[in-house]
A and B are shown apart, each in its own frame.
Chain A
Amino acid sequence: MTASDMLALLPLLLIAGSSVAVLIAAAVGRNHAVAFGLSLSGLAASFCSVFFVPATQVTALLDIDGYALFFFGLISAASFAVALLAYGYLRNRDIDKEEFYVLLLVATLGAMILAASSHFASFFLGLEVLSIALYALIAYFGDRPLPVEAGIKYLVLAASSAAFLLFGIALVYADLGTMDFARIEHILAANPNPNLTLLLPGVALVVTGIGFKLALVPFHMWTPDVYQGAPAPVTAFVATVSKGGMFALLLRYFAQSGINRFAPALLVFTIIAIASMLAGNLLALLQSNVKRILAYSSIAHMGYLMVALEVGGAIGASAVVFYLVAYFIMTLGAFAVVTVLSAEHRDADQMEDYRGLFWRRPVLALVFTAMLLSLAGIPMTAGFLGKFYILAAGAAAGSWALILILVIASTIGLFYYLRIVVILYQQPGDANQPLPLRMPAASLVLAALTVILVWLGVYPSWMLQAIHTAIGSLL
Chain B
Amino acid sequence: MLGLLWLIPAIPFASALALAVLRFPRKVVAWIAVSSIAASSIISLLVTFSFLHAPPAGNAYTEVLWTWMRVGDFRPEIAFYLDPLSLIMVVVVAFVSFLIHLYSTEFMAGDDGYSRFFAYMNLFVASMLTLLLANNLLLLYLGWEGVGLCSYLLIGFWYRDPENGLAGRKAFIVTRVGDTAMLIGLFLLFHDLGTLNIQELMQRAPQHWHLGAGAAVAAGLLLLGGAVGKSAQLPLQTWLPDAMAGPTPVSALIHAATMVTAGVYLIARTHVLYSLAPPAQFAVAVVGAATLLIAGFSALTQWDLKRVLAYSTISQIGYMFLALGVGAWPAAILHFMTHAFFKALLFLAAGVVIQALHEEHNIFRMGGLRKKLPVAFWTFLIAGCSLAGLPLITAGAFSKDWILWGAASAANGSMGFWIVALIGILLTSLYTFRMIFLVFFGEMHSEVTKKPGMAMLIPCIVLAFLSIAGGYVKTPFAHFLETALPWNAAAAGAVHISEIGSETVAGLVFLLGLVLAYVLFLRSRSYAASLTDNAAGAALHRFWFSDWGMDWLYDRLLVRPYAWAARIDKGDLIDGFYSGIAELNVLAWRVLGLTESGRLRWYAAGIAAGSIIYIAVVLFL
Distance in angstroms between the alpha carbons of A222 and B610 in the assembled complex: 14
Distance in angstroms between the alpha carbons of A200 and B600 in the assembled complex: 28
- Is B598 an interface residue when CB atoms closer than 8 A count as contact? yes
Distance in angstroms between the alpha carbons of A222 and B607 in the assembled complex: 10
B159-170 near A? 1/0 per residue, CB < 8 Å? 000000000000
Asked whether, in the complex, the Cβ of B607 is within 8 Å of the Cβ of A218, the reply is yes
Asked whether, in the complex, the Cβ of B607 is within 8 Å of the Cβ of A225, the reply is no
- Is A279 an interface residue when CB atoms closer than 8 A count as contact? yes
Residues in B neighbouring A181, C-beta threshold 8 A: none
How many chain A residues touch the partner (CB < 8 A)?
Answer: 38
- Is B615 an interface residue when CB atoms closer than 8 A count as contact? yes
Residues in B neighbouring A201, C-beta threshold 8 A: 615, 618-619
Distance in angstroms between the alpha carbons of A160 and B604 in the assembled complex: 8
Closest to A207 in B: B614
A255-281 near B? 1/0 per residue, CB < 8 Å? 000000010110110010000000100
Residues in A neighbouring B613, C-beta threshold 8 A: 218
Asked whether, in the complex, the Cβ of A283 is within 8 Å of the Cβ of B589, the reply is yes
Asked whether, in the complex, the Cβ of B610 is within 8 Å of the Cβ of A153, the reply is no
Contact of A267 among B600, B602, B607, B621 (CB under 8 A): B621
Asked whether, in the complex, the Cβ of A282 is within 8 Å of the Cβ of B588, the reply is yes
- Is B24 an interface residue when CB atoms closer than 8 A count as contact? no
- Is A66 an interface residue when CB atoms closer than 8 A count as contact? no
Contact of B589 among A203, A267, A282 (CB under 8 A): A282
- Is B609 an interface residue when CB atoms closer than 8 A count as contact? yes
Closest to B616 in A: A204
Asked whether, in the complex, the Cβ of A268 is within 8 Å of the Cβ of B617, the reply is yes
- Is A447 an interface residue when CB atoms closer than 8 A count as contact? no
Known: A225-B598, A285-B585. A268 touches B614 (CB 8 A): yes
- Is B562 an interface residue when CB atoms closer than 8 A count as contact? no
Known: A156-B604, A279-B592. A271 touches B617 (CB 8 A): yes
Asked whether, in the complex, the Cβ of A218 is within 8 Å of the Cβ of B598, the reply is no
Asked whether, in the complex, the Cβ of A219 is within 8 Å of the Cβ of B618, the reply is no
- Is A454 an interface residue when CB atoms closer than 8 A count as contact? no
Known: A221-B596, A224-B596, A282-B588. A203 touches B618 (CB 8 A): yes
Distance in angstroms between the alpha carbons of A374 and B621 in the assembled complex: 38
Contact of B614 among A204, A212, A285 (CB under 8 A): A204
Distance in angstroms between the alpha carbons of A200 and B592 in the assembled complex: 29
The size class of the interface chain B forms with chain A is 20 to 34
Asked whether, in the complex, the Cβ of A264 is within 8 Å of the Cβ of B621, the reply is yes
Residues in B neighbouring A297, C-beta threshold 8 A: none
- Is B603 an interface residue when CB atoms closer than 8 A count as contact? yes
Residues in B neighbouring A203, C-beta threshold 8 A: 618
Chain A contact residues, majority secondary structure: helix
- Is B593 an interface residue when CB atoms closer than 8 A count as contact? yes
Residues in A neighbouring B596, C-beta threshold 8 A: 221, 224-225, 283
Residues in B neighbouring A286, C-beta threshold 8 A: 586, 589
CB distance from B337 to the nearest CB of A (A): 69
Residues in B neighbouring A204, C-beta threshold 8 A: 611, 614-615, 617-618
Known: A282-B592, A285-B585. A212 touches B607 (CB 8 A): yes
Residues in A neighbouring B611, C-beta threshold 8 A: 164, 204-205, 207-208
Residues in A neighbouring B618, C-beta threshold 8 A: 196, 200-201, 203-204, 262, 264-265, 267-268
Contact of B600 among A152, A207, A217, A219 (CB under 8 A): A152
Residues in B neighbouring A212, C-beta threshold 8 A: 607
- Is B488 an interface residue when CB atoms closer than 8 A count as contact? no
Residues in B neighbouring A283, C-beta threshold 8 A: 589, 592-593, 596
- Is B55 an interface residue when CB atoms closer than 8 A count as contact? no
CB distance from B188 to the nearest CB of A (A): 45
Distance in angstroms between the alpha carbons of A414 and B586 in the assembled complex: 14
Residues in A neighbouring B586, C-beta threshold 8 A: 285-286
Count chain B CB atoms within 10 A of each CB in A217, A219, A224 and give the residue with the most: A219
Residues in B neighbouring A415, C-beta threshold 8 A: 585
- Is A211 an interface residue when CB atoms closer than 8 A count as contact? yes
Distance in angstroms between the alpha carbons of A267 and B616 in the assembled complex: 12
- Is A176 an interface residue when CB atoms closer than 8 A count as contact? no
CB distance from A292 to the nearest CB of B (A): 9
Asked whether, in the complex, the Cβ of B592 is within 8 Å of the Cβ of A267, the reply is no
Asked whether, in the complex, the Cβ of A211 is within 8 Å of the Cβ of B589, the reply is no
- Is A380 an interface residue when CB atoms closer than 8 A count as contact? no
CB distance from A310 to the nearest CB of B (A): 15
Task: List CB contacts (< 8 Å) of A314-335 with chain B.
Answer: none
Known: A164-B611, A264-B621, A267-B621. A221 touches B592 (CB 8 A): no
Distance in angstroms between the alpha carbons of A156 and B585 in the assembled complex: 32
Asked whether, in the complex, the Cβ of B610 is within 8 Å of the Cβ of A267, the reply is no
Task: List CB contacts (< 8 Å) of B52-81 with chain A.
Answer: none
Asked whether, in the complex, the Cβ of A221 is within 8 Å of the Cβ of B588, the reply is no
Distance in angstroms between the alpha carbons of A213 and B617 in the assembled complex: 21
Asked whether, in the complex, the Cβ of B607 is within 8 Å of the Cβ of A164, the reply is yes
Closest to B588 in A: A282
Task: List CB contacts (< 8 Å) of A214-250 with chain B.
Answer: 217-219, 221-222, 224-225
- Is B579 an interface residue when CB atoms closer than 8 A count as contact? no
CB distance from A203 to the nearest CB of B (A): 7
CB distance from B100 to the nearest CB of A (A): 61
- Is B113 an interface residue when CB atoms closer than 8 A count as contact? no
Asked whether, in the complex, the Cβ of B610 is within 8 Å of the Cβ of A208, the reply is yes
A177-208 near B? 1/0 per residue, CB < 8 Å? 00000000000000000001100110111011
Closest to A285 in B: B589
- Is B446 an interface residue when CB atoms closer than 8 A count as contact? no
Distance in angstroms between the alpha carbons of A156 and B588 in the assembled complex: 28
CB distance from B563 to the nearest CB of A (A): 37
CB distance from A139 to the nearest CB of B (A): 14
- Is A351 an interface residue when CB atoms closer than 8 A count as contact? no
Distance in angstroms between the alpha carbons of A283 and B607 in the assembled complex: 18
Distance in angstroms between the alpha carbons of A415 and B619 in the assembled complex: 38
- Is A48 an interface residue when CB atoms closer than 8 A count as contact? no
- Is B532 an interface residue when CB atoms closer than 8 A count as contact? no
- Is B235 an interface residue when CB atoms closer than 8 A count as contact? no
Known: A219-B610, A282-B592. A264 touches B617 (CB 8 A): yes
Closest to A295 in B: B596
Count chain B CB atoms within 10 A of each CB in A164, A219, A221 and give the residue with the most: A221
- Is A90 an interface residue when CB atoms closer than 8 A count as contact? no
Closest to B610 in A: A218
Count chain A CB atoms within 10 A of each CB in B600, B604, B621 and give the residue with the most: B600
- Is A412 an interface residue when CB atoms closer than 8 A count as contact? yes
- Is A157 an interface residue when CB atoms closer than 8 A count as contact? yes
CB distance from B90 to the nearest CB of A (A): 62
Asked whether, in the complex, the Cβ of B619 is within 8 Å of the Cβ of A218, the reply is no
CB distance from A67 to the nearest CB of B (A): 27
Residues in A neighbouring B588, C-beta threshold 8 A: 282, 285
Asked whether, in the complex, the Cβ of A161 is within 8 Å of the Cβ of B589, the reply is no
Asked whether, in the complex, the Cβ of B617 is within 8 Å of the Cβ of A208, the reply is no
Residues in B neighbouring A222, C-beta threshold 8 A: 603
Distance in angstroms between the alpha carbons of A279 and B595 in the assembled complex: 11
Residues in B neighbouring A207, C-beta threshold 8 A: 611, 614
Asked whether, in the complex, the Cβ of A218 is within 8 Å of the Cβ of B585, the reply is no
Asked whether, in the complex, the Cβ of A153 is within 8 Å of the Cβ of B603, the reply is yes
Asked whether, in the complex, the Cβ of A157 is within 8 Å of the Cβ of B604, the reply is yes
- Is B606 an interface residue when CB atoms closer than 8 A count as contact? yes
Task: List CB contacts (< 8 Å) of A435-462 with chain B.
Answer: none
Residues in B neighbouring A160, C-beta threshold 8 A: 604, 607
Please list the 8 inter-chain residue pairs (A to B) with the smallest Cβ-Cβ separation, ordered nearest first: A218-B610, A208-B611, A200-B618, A285-B589, A264-B618, A204-B614, A221-B603, A204-B615
8 chain-A/chain-B pairs, Cβ below 8 angstroms: A156-B604, A157-B604, A161-B607, A208-B611, A219-B607, A221-B602, A265-B618, A283-B596
**Residues of A at under 8 Å CB distance from B?**
152-153, 156-157, 160-161, 164, 196-197, 200-201, 203-205, 207-208, 211-212, 217-219, 221-222, 224-225, 262, 264-265, 267-268, 271, 279, 282-283, 285-286, 412, 415
**Residues of B at under 8 Å CB distance from A?**
585-586, 588-589, 592-593, 595-596, 598, 600, 602-604, 606-607, 609-611, 613-615, 617-619, 621
7 further contact pairs, Cβ within 8 A, besides A160-B607, A283-B592: A156-B604, A204-B611, A205-B611, A207-B611, A207-B614, A282-B589, A415-B585
